[in-house]
Chain A
């Protein structure tokens, strides 16, 4: 059981380039999330998904796109990289839970992205 796996761990992009951050989980979790973490700014939600085929915007979605074709995978796409997208990106997943139980978020190890 690998949990949440993110690739790559590090990446340097030039302004205007595009890339996809990969995220996969093997816990059969319904919910998946993408957060970015800037120094001193906590974790900001970019996009999330409550199941295959369903995605929704978080707090800071501009400049990003996502897809959820399978339960396991939730890739994050940057189309035209900008210096403001320099950050650490965390993918997370959790179980659906119930009315009496909130399942915890399981985070991946993060992807450190630099745009120059």
Chain B
């Protein structure tokens, strides 16, 4: 089955700096890669996602890149703000067949003012 590895487990940056979180996946048939943000004590919420037929997707200060050959994808947050502090999870899913969405272990991002 699918296995998703996420790095780093913790990340601390200064306000205004960029943050990058990386994930690798094992199943080459996976073709959907969402990112979720979970604030302390809250539910995870989708912030951006990418399909395997796209190499990069941007939404304001966040972007996701995908390298299908290497089976890794990354989340990029630019001009970080204190409200970006949260745990971020990557995930992978195979279209059709199993509907399982497999998550990475999460990255705790702290943005210092």
List the interface of chain A (C-beta within 8 A of B).
31, 33, 35, 40-45, 48, 50, 58-59, 90, 99, 102, 104-105, 107-110
Contact of B73 with A by CB under 8 A? no
Determine which of A41, A43, A50, A99 lies in contact with B99 in the assembled complex, contact meaning CB atoms within 8 Å: A50
Number of interface residues, chain B, beta carbon within 8 A: 25
Nearest neighbor of A110 in chain B, beta-carbon distance: B43
Q: When A and B form their complex, what is the total count of cross-chain residue pairs whose Cβ atoms lie within 8 Å?
A: 52
A40, A44, A58, A59: which contacts B9 (Cβ < 8 A)?
A: A40
Is B25 interfacial (CB 8 A cutoff)? no
- Which residues of chain A have C-beta atoms less than 8 A from B100's C-beta? 45, 48, 58-59
* Nearest neighbor of B44 in chain A, beta-carbon distance: A107
The answer to whether B105 touches A42 (Cβ under 8 A) is yes
B88 to chain A, nearest CB (A): 11
CB contacts under 8 Å to A, within B77-113, are 89, 93, 95-96, 99-106
- Counting from the closest, the 9 A-B pairs by CB-CB distance are A42-B105, A107-B43, A104-B46, A43-B103, A102-B32, A42-B103, A42-B106, A107-B44, A109-B43
B106 touches A33 (CB 8 A): no
B51 at interface by CB-CB < 8 Å: yes
